[in-house]
Structure 1
């Protein structure tokens, strides 16, 4: 049986403003980075802070070690993804940020959006991932 084109979901590219709006609706996303052994993706709690996302992680964890740089003021290339899908309706959206991540100084932490991590334990390593490239797609019914 052929699918009815009026009920088939349509894929729409999203502009930067809509991507940033959607990012603000969620609180859990995924940081993608190279941990030295290859591409790695770790879920984190986050907050949108201007054109960036702020997240916290363990001071002794792999994410922190991988995002540190030996260059003062330098950034490590990383990506951040957040999405929301409804499998029953086959509709949803996905947003991807690509840019540079750096640890926040004490002064930057004070001014940054607050992030409340879900897991207990030490989560005192704060990072900002600046959105140099933002893209998104929405799958919806016409």
Structure 2
């Protein structure tokens, strides 16, 4: 039995020694992030690149998130042009440290503040932080990419 366990351990060690990195297509990326949860919005806040975690939902291929009206994210994503968008990125990942497997999805596109009519028809997102989160944004995914690491 000891020889059997030793052989199994060797097989597992050799399997985990061969990570495989695979590119994910748009459909698989959107499927992975569809349940919502926590992701990160990347944007330029005027002082350089910034990344902020947010709660999000996915609504028809766009990411919907809410934040405070006074926050840095809101100030940076508001545009003086009605109907305009600010270029931003959104990233979600799930990593299993024990097995060193996981995936990462990146969406890039235009973010815009949502109008009342859009909010009324959007999938609801409930932010975790306390306080008012009355600034709603939608990031339309123009580019979607992702990668997954598996052990073989």
Task: Identify the match of residue 79 of structure 1 among 89, 113, 135.
Answer: 89
CA distance, structure 1, for counterparts of residue 76 and residue 17 of structure 2: 44
Quote the residue 2:67 is aligned against: 57
- 2:36–2:58 contact (8 Å) kept in structure 1: no
Unaligned 5+ runs, structure 2: 1-12
For residues 56-113 of structure 1, the C-alpha deviation after alignment (integer angstroms, 9 at most, x for no partner) is 0000000000000101110000000000001111100000000000000000000111
* TM-score (ref. length: structure 2): 0.89
TM-score (norm 1): 0.95
Q: Is 1:104 paired with 2:129?
A: no
Q: Find the counterpart in structure 2 of residue 123 from structure 1.
A: 133
CA distance in 2, matches of 1:110, 1:9: 45
Q: Distance in 2 between matches of 1:35 and 1:78?
A: 11
2:26 to 16, 25, 28: 16
Task: Work out the CA distance in 2 between the residues paired with 1:131 and 1:90.
Answer: 28
- More helix by proportion, 1 or 2? 2
Structure 1 residue runs of 5 or longer lacking an equivalent are: none
Aligned length: 140
User: Aligned equivalents of 2:36 and 2:117: distance in 1?
Assistant: 26
Pick the structure with greater CA Rg. 2
CA distance in structure 1 between the aligned counterparts of 2:56 and 2:63, rounded to whole angstroms: 6
Query: CA shift at 1:25, angstroms?
Result: 3.0
